[in-house]
Amino acid sequence: KNDETLLVQSGKPVGVFQTHEWAPRVLLANSNLVGDWATWPEFRRLEQLGLTMYGQMTAGSWIYIGTQGILQGTYETFAAVAQKRFGGTLKGTLTVTGGCGGMGGAQPLAVTMNEGVCLMIDIDPTRLQRRVETRYLDEIAHDLNDAITRVLAAKAAGRALSVGLVGNAAQVLPQILAMDVPVDIVTDQTSAHDPLYYIPTDIDFADAREYADKKPEEFTDRAQESMARHVEAMVGFMDKGSEVFDYGNSIRDEARKGGYDRAFAFPGFIPAYIRPLFCEGKGPFRWVALSGDPKDIARTDQAVLDLFPDNDHLRRWITMAQERVAFQGLPARICWLGYGERDKAGLAFNELVANGEVKAPIVIGRDHLDCGSVASPYRESEAMLDGSDAIADWPLLNAMVNIASGASWVSIHHGGGVGIGRSIHAGQVSVADGTPLAAQKLARVLTNDPGMGVIRHVDAGYDQAVEVAKERHVHVPMLENGDYL
C-alpha cells in the first residue's frame, strides 16, 4: 500500500510496516557484516546457512539493467583515458585486458566506441561467443599469434576492432609482455574480487568449479599466486610506458596477498580518471521503461538530448547506444549526469508520463558506483585527498538522505565490486509515475543524491568540488563558515 514499507534482509522479505506516502515502498540491506566478521570465509559460511546473500551493487538493489549498465561507465573511463593520455581518442591504440563476464564484457565495445583496438582475454569461450552474439565483441581468436596479428593490423590502420582470445589472462599477459608487443593500455576485469572465481594458471577450466568448492582455501592460495604473476606483468607494461590501471576488482590487493610487493605500483581508475567528475556530482543515471516498449526509451533519449543540447559527449554516447546496445530485460538507458542535471531529466520524464507521451511510468536509479554513495578504498574512495578512504559514514548518510527525500526504494550493501570487507555502498531508485507527488519527490531525490557527491568531495578538500558547491549553491555549512579554509 502507499503508506507501507517492505523490509528486505539479504533477499528475504522480513516485514511490512505502516509508514507514510513519502516513505520508500521498499528498504533493502544486503551482505552487511560487522567489521571483524567481514571476511569471505565467514560470509560464505553464513551464505550456506541462508542468512545472507551477495548483493553486488545494482543486482540486489532491483535496478540491474544488464551490461549496458556497466558499458556506459566503461565508455566514460576509456574516454577519460583517451583525454588524459592520447589526445582525446583511442584511435591507433591497443588495449589489452581480461575478463569478459557480466561486468568486464563491456570493455571491448567501450574501447571500440572510443575508436580503439581491444584484445580481450578470457578462459571461458562461451563468454566470448556470447559477446560476439550481442555485438559487444567483434571476433574470436584461439591462438595468441593470430590474435596479435589481427589487433596490430587494426592498430596500424587506425581501425576500431575488438578481438577475444581464449586463454588465461595470468598466463597470456606475461607472454605478450615478453613478445614486446606495442600495448598502449592495460587493465583487467577478471573476477579477482572473489578468488574462488579467478582461475589459477595451472588448473583446467573444466575442473575449477569443483576444485574451488571442495578445497576453497587451497584454491584461493593458488588463485592469489596467479594474480601475483598477472599483476607483475601489468607492472611490466607500466614500466615500458603503457597506461595501466586497476579497474576496481581488487586484483592488486589479491596479488599482494599472493606475494607480489609492487602490486600497488599503478593506480585505480577512480583517482586516475574519474574523480574530477565526482567532484561535480557527476555519475551514472539510469532509467527503465516499465511499459516494456523500446519506443518509450527512444522518447526519453530524445528528451535528454533536448535538455542538454550542448553536451556533445552525451549526444555521442546516446547515439552509439541506440545503434549498438541491445536491451536485456526491460528497455533501459544509462548516461552520466551531474548535480543540477539529474533532477531536470527526472522531472522531464515525469512530464512525459503525465502527458501520455510514454505508455507507463519510468523507473529512475543509478549504480552504487557514484560520487557520494560509496566507501571503497580500492575503488571509489581510493587515495582521497584527506586520507578518508575508509570512512563509511558517507554511503550511510546517502541512504538516509534519499529515504528522507522520498525515494521509492533504497538499499545499503557491503562488498560490491571489490569483495567482502572492502566496501560499503548505497543505492536509490525513484518512480516517475506522472503525478505531482512524484515530481516533488524526484526534485528532492535527484538533487540531494548527487549533492552528496559534491559535499563529500568538499569535505575531502577538493578545490573543484568547492567551486561547484559555490557556483551551484550547494548548502555546505562548514564551507560557508570558513571552517574548510
Q: Which amino acid is at 306?
A: D
Sort residue 225 into left (φ over 0), alpha (ψ -120 to 50) or beta: alpha
- The one catalytic residue in 100, 118, 335, 371 is 335
Any catalytic annotation for residue 335? yes
Strands 424-432 and 409-414: antiparallel
> Is beta strand 283-289 parallel, antiparallel or unpaired with respect to 332-337?
antiparallel
What does the block give as the cell for 379? 575503488
Q: In terms of C-beta density within 10 A (0-12 exposed, 13-18 middle, 19 or more buried), how is residue 396 classed?
A: middle
Distance separating alpha carbons of residues 116 and 108, to the nearest angstrom: 9
Q: Do residues 95 and 186 touch, judged by C-beta distance below 8 A?
A: yes
- How buried is 204 (Cβ within 10 angstroms: 0-12 exposed, 13-18 middle, 19+ buried)? exposed
Instruction: Note whether 134 and 326 are within 8 A (CB).
Output: yes
Tell me the backbone φ, ψ of residue 95, rounded to 5 degrees: -105, 130
**Residue 230 to residue 418: CA distance in whole angstroms:** 17
Task: Name the DSSP letter for residue 327.
Answer: P
DSSP string of 424-438?
Answer: EEEEEEEEE-SSHHH
Grid cell in block for residue 130: 556470447
User: Could you identify the residue written with the cell 593506480?
Assistant: 267
* Cα separation, 407 vs 187, whole angstroms: 36
Residue 391 φ then ψ, to 5°: -70, 115
Contact 364, 286 (CB under 8 A): yes
> Burial letters for 336-358: b for 16+ Cβ neighbours within 10 Å, e otherwise?
bbbbbbbbbbbbbbbebbbeeeb
Euclidean distance between CA atoms 173 and 238, whole angstroms:
13
Q: All 3 cell numbers of residue 229?
A: 604473476
Cα 476 to the center of its chain, rounded Å: 28
- Residue 425's φ and ψ, nearest 5 degrees, are -155, 160
Residue 108's contacts (CB-CB under 8 Å, 6 or more residues apart) are 100, 118, 120, 131, 136, 137, 138, 162, 164
**Residues classed as catalytic:** 335
